[in-house]
Amino acid sequence: MTPRRITRQAAKILATALAGGGVLISVAEARLRMVVGRADNGQIYQVLQYRAGDDLGVGAEELQITSVVASSSQAETCGTGLGISVQRDPAESLAYGPIQGSRPLELAYRSRLIADASAPCFDAAAVDGLGRVCVGPGCSAACECTDEDRCFAFSMTDGTTLDIASPDVPAAKVVAPVRARHRQCNVLTGVAYGFGSAGSITTESDLCATAPADGFRLAGSPTSLSGGVDGTTLIIVYDATQDELVTVAAAGFGIDRDGSSAYQCGSPGGVVAAVQADGEEAPIVPPPGPPVSLSTEELKCQRSIARSGRKFSMRVLKALQVCRERILKGAWPITSQECQTQPYVERSIRSAARVSRATMSAKCRAIDMSRLLTCGDSIDDLISSDNRGGCLFSTHLQAAEDMAEVEFGF
Is 231 part of any domain? yes
Number of domains present in the structure of the chain: 2
Does residue 286 belong to any structural domain of this protein?
A: no
Q: What is the pLDDT of residue 6?
A: 23
Q: How sure is the predictor about 198, in pLDDT bands with cuts at 50, 70 and 90?
A: low
Residue 239, in any domain of the structure: yes
Same domain, yes or no, for 276 and 340? no
pLDDT in tens, 4-19: 222 223 223 222 222 2
Residues of the chain with pLDDT > 90, as a percent, come to 34
Residue 74 neighbours by CB under 8 Å, 6+ apart: 97, 98, 99, 247, 279, 281
Beta bridge partners of 51: 231
Does 99 share its domain with 246? yes
Of the candidates 255, 281, 307, which is a domain's last residue?
Answer: 281
> Do both 28 and 76 map to the same domain?
yes
Single out the residue in 253, 281, 309 at which a domain terminates.
Answer: 281
Predicted confidence (pLDDT) at residue 150 exceeds the cutoff of 90: yes
Of the residues 249, 281, 313, the one at which a domain ends: 281
For residue 379, is pLDDT > 90? yes
Residue 97 pLDDT greater than 60, yes or no: no
Are 193 and 235 found together in one domain?
Answer: yes
pTM for the whole structure = 0.60
Q: What is the pLDDT of residues 39-60, one digit of tens each?
A: 988 888 999 999 888 776 677 8
214 and 315: one domain? no
> Which pLDDT belongs to residue 252?
83
Find the mean pLDDT for residues 374-396: 90
pLDDT tens digits, 239-283: 887 777 777 778 888 888 887 777 777 777 888 877 777 666 666
Based on the fold, state whether residues 170 and 305 are members of the same structural domain.
no
Q: How far apart, in whole angstroms, are the C-alpha atoms of residue 74 and residue 187?
A: 12
Any domain includes 291? no
For 279, other C-beta atoms within 10 Å of its C-beta total 26
User: Are residues 111 and 224 part of one domain?
Assistant: yes
Which positions ≥6 away from 185 have C-beta within 8 Å?
A: 78, 79, 80, 81, 82, 95, 97
Q: Are residues 43 and 132 in the same domain?
A: yes
**Average model confidence (pLDDT) across the chain:** 76
Tallying the residues shown for the chain, one arrives at 410
Residues 274 and 366 grouped into a single domain: no
Q: Is residue 290 part of a domain?
A: no
Query: What percentage of the chain carries pLDDT values higher than 70?
Result: 74
What domain range is 142 assigned to? 8-281
Q: Does one domain contain both 251 and 322?
A: no
Q: Which helix (H) or strand (E) holds 356?
A: helix 343-364
For 331-360, the pLDDT digits (tens) are: 999 999 899 999 999 999 999 999 999 999
Range scoring the smallest mean pLDDT among 201-205, 229-233, 386-390 = 201-205
Given a cut of 60, is residue 96 above it in pLDDT? no
Residues 270 and 203 grouped into a single domain: yes
Question: Would you say residue 197 lies in a domain?
Answer: yes
Residue 165 lies in a domain: yes
| Same-domain pairing of 18 and 96 | yes
Whether residue 288 lies inside any domain: the answer is no
